[in-house]
Amino acid sequence: MRPLSWNAVLLAASTLLATRETQGFCPSLSPSTTSVRGCTSLGVSSLSSEIVLLSYDGTVAETTDWRIDQGIDLALSVWPRLKKLSVIAGDDDNDDDDDDFVSDSDTNMEWLRNKMRAVSDVMVSRPAVSMSCDYALLARLLIEEQQLDRGRSNGCSGKYGSKFHPRETSSSSSPLGASRPLTVGEISANWNKGGCLAETLQVKYHIDFENPLPVLQDRIAQLDKEKQYKVPEMNKAILDALEHSCGNIIVTVGHESDMEMAKKTLSFMNIPLSTVTPDNDSLRQSLDTSRENDESIKLLAVSTTHASIYRDVLRMAHFGSTVYIFESSWHALKQGISLFGDNIPRRGSGMAETIIGKGINLSLNLPKWSSSVEGDINQQNEATMNAWTNLVEEIDCAELLSARIVPSPAAVRRYR
């Protein structure tokens, strides 16, 4: 057998290394890395600078109950006549419970909360307003729909009726001229598409012939001063992972008005928090890999659209970076698909290079553990069947956060 020449050996070695890189294998760790872990199902490269964006709603904390409480309070505050309509819908016959209507009527309002919780998966953060404004529109719709029922379904039994209708019969109930309320399925299917209920309600519920969303948004500040809402609980696995995390982690908050509640939720961790904005140098500085002493978790409010936030982060990322986005709203997550251009993520790694910048990878992930995703098979199917998105388990996200490989500045310079 003829011995192999050195050229042949070098060619074979280089081919093997190239093959392992393209298939997503972890290369050997260099002494310059500051922490060690193995490959995960998210396919992390050891020399890439990782940036992780986590949505506050759903991914980090379960905020649905807080959104429901705030949405009901918003609706009753901006449209006070709903307090009288709710009597027809089957609540207490007490017209004096003005300011404490929700807190004093928890039992009687349970049907409304149940219905809003069932439709929570289609609530979205619209530009320049909090997601709670969507919940306020939904609250008014459900109360008025129940009023049209004229008490026919009050106190009914059954799996659906007992859960989504008032339990007590109303003394003013009358079957004459009554109509069936919209079901949660009908509302869910037509909220953002189909009948476009959300857009229709913005016209129907106008305030002096103006869009009610800005008025609802302005009222949030007043409610936050008057009421003490229960702080949403963080997801246990994500909490543990964040406490042992390192590197660039950004928690995206739906609106600036939600920032204080996000800070209260994250304050249980022994990790410093810092607020960054996309329109100045604070975000760019927070993504600077040479800043070794900054271990804080960044809070970033979505001022316009999620797509603009994703684009800003990609523009500021360094060469060789990978940006992981975990967003519990499919409506928000799919805004990042266009950033791939014609590039399709490799099977198994779930990431691909973007058209923003050079040598920057992107991974779009829908968190399966979020309550708004867990109970919605449609969102799960969308993320699974779409070539540019991933449906991920909580353990995968926790592993990425808690044991990531963070390169030193010297390693980044060599990689460039």
CATH of the domain at 374: 3.40.50
Q: Do the Cβ atoms of 238 and 401 come closer than 8 Å?
A: yes
Residue 105 lies in a domain: yes
Give me the numbers of helices (H) and strands (E) for the chain, helices first please: 19, 10
Residue-wise pLDDT for 118-132, tens only, equals 999 899 888 889 999
Range of the domain at 389: 33-60+232-415
- Single out the residue in 186, 209, 226 at which a domain terminates: 226
Same domain, 310 and 378: yes
User: 342: exposed, middle or buried (C-beta count within 10 Å: 0-12, 13-18, 19+)?
Assistant: exposed
Residue 337 lies in a domain: yes
Same domain, 179 and 237: no
Same domain, 271 and 292: yes
Residue 407 lies in a domain: yes
Could you tell me the two tokens for 316?
Answer: 């500021």
Residue 239 lies in a domain: yes
For helices 394-402 and 236-243, the axis angle rounded to 10 degrees is: 10
Same domain, 112 and 236: no
Q: List beta partners, residue 298.
A: 250, 274
Same domain, 220 and 236: no
- b/e map 84-93, b = 16+ CB within 10 Å: ebbbbbbbbe
Same domain, 237 and 215: no
The residues near 399 (Cβ < 8 Å, ≥ 6 apart) are 37, 40, 241
- Single out the residue in 201, 226, 251 at which a domain terminates: 226
Share of the chain above pLDDT 70, in %: 69
Could you tell me the two tokens for 273?
Answer: 């928090």
Same domain, 409 and 262: yes
pLDDT at 168: 61
DSSP code at position 293: T
pLDDT at 44: 47
Q: How far apart are the C-alpha atoms of 47 and 159, rounded to whole Å?
A: 54
Are β-strands 297-301 and 273-276 bridged in parallel, bridged antiparallel, or unpaired? parallel
Count of domains for the chain: 2
Is the pLDDT at 182 greater than 90? The verdict is no
Is the pLDDT at 414 greater than 60? The verdict is no
pLDDT at 60: 95
Residue 116 lies in a domain: yes
Same domain, 192 and 307: no
Is the pLDDT at 413 greater than 50? The verdict is no
- 83 φ/ψ angles, rounded to the nearest 5 degrees: -65, -35
